[in-house]
């Protein structure tokens, strides 16, 4: 197999952009065509950078511009060669602000067959930027399995046939060996068997434990026969307009994260405190939403789930992302039980919930192991929880028989769950049906089984919470154009004129809140920074961005930018056939808790009203789902108004 070669940008062009290039940017987008086997650097200019920033800002625009179905209406589907897989960083990636190894994946995903924005961290963004690229745009489909190798100006599609069948950790190990590199000198994002076999909720996993998990982006990679992206830590330099200013802003953010009451526990323990905290609100998903009482899980002793105890249960070792001072990501060595001695990635809260509570498992060692098994297979741990929990409940209730499944799978059985995971990621037996994801599998089974399944009508599944007591998140998840929460949780909401607190079970207040917080997350996800390290005042983030780029970027600019990005994603989603009718939770997802702190709180009773309010607040048309011309014009998206409304605009 001859390596595809990189066509360097014309010398003249790079020189001219280099002089005007805003700080923080590498200056090139890397376009990889798997069908033609070409890799080409495309310089991009300051205006485009200012308009799209990077991350989801850039990705949303690429999807909108490049994935329309040729010669007709609609959009290409996730498995079409013309689908794009955008792997984007942002202007802060590679800079000394905490957590700036960021990767945002934008694609038409296999879960909803609509747009996606899903993030991971590690060193992808860092290594890519130091090679001279701000983002990779993958298109086409390869005939044989390949991986993309990037080392400064050497960009090649290399034979990956020997990597097929390896899980993501094995893939990274094999590529270390092949390149003779180690540690963060080589950042590898890859797919495991689940991606290769087009599992609808396959993720892209990288750098041992970082996962871009949503909407089957791993299946897109699998369809393109792109096994991995391996990026050598490049040798190029990143300039900042005001480097001292970047360092100072980074210090300010760090100080805030270390000391602010709302961020401090995250700083110390990452997302681990979520388990106990959410259980007290009824937002820890337990046994497929059948209960909200931890006592209903065999062997559950909440005292050992306090964050410090949870961490100390393992031989834990810091494993941070680029330039990050959070005590968040860790590697753990399992100390007890069957898997003693195994190295795992310390689960995030969502790992504890998806591979633990959602499937009725409270054995911390087993859960930690299963969580890494998911990462290695490249399966979204959230959807795994909903899928496996559903199968467990269905077996308990007799909707899925032992014969159908091939074995008995009871609540809390992590080894059985792993067995199922291997079947699903290889599409073996009943695993082939389950590989289609919760929604499609539930619809296939139908009847009472379908009533137990947790999903959104668009085809996605929620993040790892029980949203029946987190209504903002359910509304956000269902109305999102990116297959997962698009607006996110409130972070210093008063900074952007929103109340500090609302009544969580008042549908109207909830809908106004979700609409009011809109924009921030899409902005954060465009910067190449982690959402946990941006859990500070937006003003500080803007200060870091301004110091990096030389722009005077304000909080208002940030929100406006975020809303604009969300509007563009909405336009793509509409073109993909997403309609208002899909913005509903499944029966179980939208059900009413039968016990626990949120017992009796019925979101479905308020759902229509919540949608009405949300639509009115964000300025979208309730009937068509389209952003109203006025809304678009206010965001400076006249061109999109014309696209969506024609002459009426």
Give residues in contact with other proteins (CB under 8 A). 94-96, 98, 123, 126, 130, 151, 154, 156, 172-173, 177, 179-185, 207-208, 233-240, 243, 247, 254, 317-325, 327, 331, 333, 343
Distance separating alpha carbons of residues 596 and 357, to the nearest angstrom: 14
> Nearest 10 degrees: CA dihedral of 547, 551, 556, 562?
-90
Cβ distance to other proteins smaller for residue 3 or 580: 3
Q: Least separation, in Å, of the C-beta of 53 and other proteins?
A: 18
Distance separating alpha carbons of residues 607 and 471, to the nearest angstrom: 10
Alpha-carbon Rg for the chain, nearest whole angstrom, is 23
Residues 6 or more apart whose Cβ sits within 8 Å of residue 438: 383, 386, 387, 390, 453, 454, 455, 461
Cβ distance to other proteins smaller for residue 56 or 188: 188
Cβ distance to other proteins smaller for residue 183 or 448: 183
Cβ distance to other proteins smaller for residue 68 or 181: 181
Cβ distance to other proteins smaller for residue 1 or 616: 1
Cβ distance to other proteins smaller for residue 276 or 331: 331
Closest of 120, 117, 118, 109 to residue 168, by C-alpha: 120
Residues 6 or more apart whose Cβ sits within 8 Å of residue 48: none
Cβ distance to other proteins smaller for residue 130 or 357: 130
Residues 6 or more apart whose Cβ sits within 8 Å of residue 399: 445, 447, 448, 449, 452
Cβ distance to other proteins smaller for residue 28 or 469: 28
Q: With 0-12 CB in 10 A as exposed, 13-18 as middle and 19+ as buried, what is 625?
A: buried
Q: Least separation, in Å, of the C-beta of 516 and other proteins?
A: 33
**Strand 330-333 to 343-345 pairing:** antiparallel
Q: Least separation, in Å, of the C-beta of 183 and other proteins?
A: 3
Pair of tokens at residue 441? 């599998």
Distance separating alpha carbons of residues 367 and 360, to the nearest angstrom: 10
Q: Least separation, in Å, of the C-beta of 365 and other proteins?
A: 17
Cβ distance to other proteins smaller for residue 317 or 410: 317
Cβ distance to other proteins smaller for residue 98 or 189: 98
**Strand 186-190 to 226-232 pairing:** antiparallel
Is residue 75 classed as helix, strand or coil in its secondary structure? strand
CB 510, CB 478: distance < 8 Å: no
Q: Least separation, in Å, of the C-beta of 177 and other proteins?
A: 7
Cβ distance to other proteins smaller for residue 319 or 633: 319
Cβ distance to other proteins smaller for residue 92 or 571: 92
CB 219, CB 195: distance < 8 Å: yes
Q: Least separation, in Å, of the C-beta of 363 and other proteins?
A: 22
| 350 Rama sector, left if φ>0, alpha if ψ -120 to 50, beta otherwise | alpha
Distance separating alpha carbons of residues 63 and 129, to the nearest angstrom: 21
DSSP class per residue in 330-389:
EEEE--SSTTTT-EEEPPPHHHHHHTTGGGT---HHHHHHHHHHHHHHTB-HHHHHHHHH
Phi, psi angles (nearest 5°) of residue 511 = -65, -40
Phi, psi angles (nearest 5°) of residue 374 = -60, -45
Q: Least separation, in Å, of the C-beta of 297 and other proteins?
A: 30
Q: Least separation, in Å, of the C-beta of 173 and other proteins?
A: 8
Phi, psi angles (nearest 5°) of residue 387 = -70, -50
Q: Least separation, in Å, of the C-beta of 233 and other proteins?
A: 7
3-state secondary structure 589-630: CCCCCCCCCCCCCCCHHHHHHHHHHHHHHHCECCCCCCECHH
Q: Least separation, in Å, of the C-beta of 575 and other proteins?
A: 39
**Strand 85-88 to 154-159 pairing:** unpaired
Please report which helix (H) or strand (E) contains residue 279, including its range. Answer: helix 274-281
Q: Least separation, in Å, of the C-beta of 189 and other proteins?
A: 14
Q: Least separation, in Å, of the C-beta of 40 and other proteins?
A: 19
Q: Least separation, in Å, of the C-beta of 540 and other proteins?
A: 17
Cβ distance to other proteins smaller for residue 251 or 557: 251
């Amino acid at each position: 197999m001859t390596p595809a070669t990189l066509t360097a940008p014309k010398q003249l062009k790079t020189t001219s952009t280099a002089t005007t290039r805003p700080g923080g940017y590498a200056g090139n987008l890397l376009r990889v065509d798997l069908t033609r086997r070409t890799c080409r650097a495309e310089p991009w200019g300051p205006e485009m950078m200012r308009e799209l920033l990077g991350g989801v800002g850039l990705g949303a625009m690429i999807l909108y511009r490049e994935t329309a179905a040729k010669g007709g209406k609609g959009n290409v589907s996730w498995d079409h060669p013309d689908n794009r897989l955008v792997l984007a960083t942002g202007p802060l990636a590679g800079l000394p602000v905490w957590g700036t190894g960021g990767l945002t994946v934008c694609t038409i995903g296999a879960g909803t067959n609509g747009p996606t924005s899903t993030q991971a961290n590690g060193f992808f963004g860092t290594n890519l930027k130091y090679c001279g690229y701000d983002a990779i745009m993958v298109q086409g489909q390869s005939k044989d399995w390949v991986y993309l190798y990037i080392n400064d100006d050497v960009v090649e599609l290399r034979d990956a046939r020997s990597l097929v069948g390896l899980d993501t950790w094995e893939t990274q190990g094999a590529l270390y060996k092949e390149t003779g590199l180690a540690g963060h000198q080589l950042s590898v994002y890859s797919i495991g068997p689940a991606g290769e076999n087009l599992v609808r909720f396959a993720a892209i996993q990288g750098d041992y434990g970082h996962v871009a998990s949503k909407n089957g982006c791993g299946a897109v990679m699998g369809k393109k026969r792109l096994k991995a992206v391996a990026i050598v830590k490049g040798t190029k330099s990143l300039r900042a307009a005001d480097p001292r200013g970047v360092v100072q802003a980074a210090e300010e953010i760090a100080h805030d994260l270390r000391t602010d009451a709302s961020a401090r526990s995250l700083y110390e323990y990452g997302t681990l405190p979520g388990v106990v905290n959410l259980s007290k609100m009824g937002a820890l998903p337990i046994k497929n939403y059948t209960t909200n009482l931890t006592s209903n899980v065999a062997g559950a002793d909440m005292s050992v789930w306090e964050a410090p105890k949870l961490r100390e249960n393992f031989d834990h070792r810091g494993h941070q992302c680029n330039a990050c001072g959070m005590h968040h990501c860790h590697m753990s060595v399992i100390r007890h039980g069957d898997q003693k001695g195994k190295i795992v990635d310390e689960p995030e809260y969502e790992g504890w919930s998806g591979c633990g509570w959602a499937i009725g498992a409270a054995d911390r060692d087993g859960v930690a192991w299963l969580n890494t098994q998911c990462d290695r297979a490249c399966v979204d741990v959230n959807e795994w929880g909903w899928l496996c929990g559903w199968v467990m409940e269905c077996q308990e209730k007799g909707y899925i028989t032992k014969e159908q499944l091939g074995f008995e799978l009871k609540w809390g059985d992590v080894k059985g769950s792993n067995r199922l995971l291997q079947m699903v990621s290889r599409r073996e037996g009943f695993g082939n049906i389950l590989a289609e994801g919760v929604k499609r599998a539930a619809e296939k089974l139908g009847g009472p089984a379908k009533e137990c399944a947790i999903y959104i009508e668009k085809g996605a599944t929620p993040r790892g919470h029980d949203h029946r007591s987190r209504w903002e998140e359910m509304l956000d998840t269902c109305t999102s154009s990116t297959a997962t929460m698009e607006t996110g949780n409130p972070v210093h909401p008063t900074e952007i004129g929103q109340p500090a607190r609302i009544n969580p079970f008042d549908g109207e207040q909830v809908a106004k809140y979700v609409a009011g917080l809109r924009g921030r997350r899409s902005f954060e996800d465009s910067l190449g920074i982690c959402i946990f390290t941006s859990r500070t005042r937006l003003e500080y983030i803007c200060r870091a961005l301004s110091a990096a780029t030389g722009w005077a970027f304000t909080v208002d600019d940030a929100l406006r930018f975020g809303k604009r990005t969300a509007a563009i994603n909405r336009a793509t989603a509409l073109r993909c056939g997403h309609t208002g009718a899909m913005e509903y939770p499944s029966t179980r997802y939208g059900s009413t808790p039968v016990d626990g702190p949120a017992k009796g709180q019925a979101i479905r009773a308020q759902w229509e009203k919540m949608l009405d309010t949300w639509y009115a607040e964000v300025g979208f048309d309730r009937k068509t789902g389209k952003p109203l011309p006025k809304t678009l014009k206010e965001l400076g998206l006249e061109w999109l108004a014309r696209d969506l409304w024609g002459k009426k605009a």
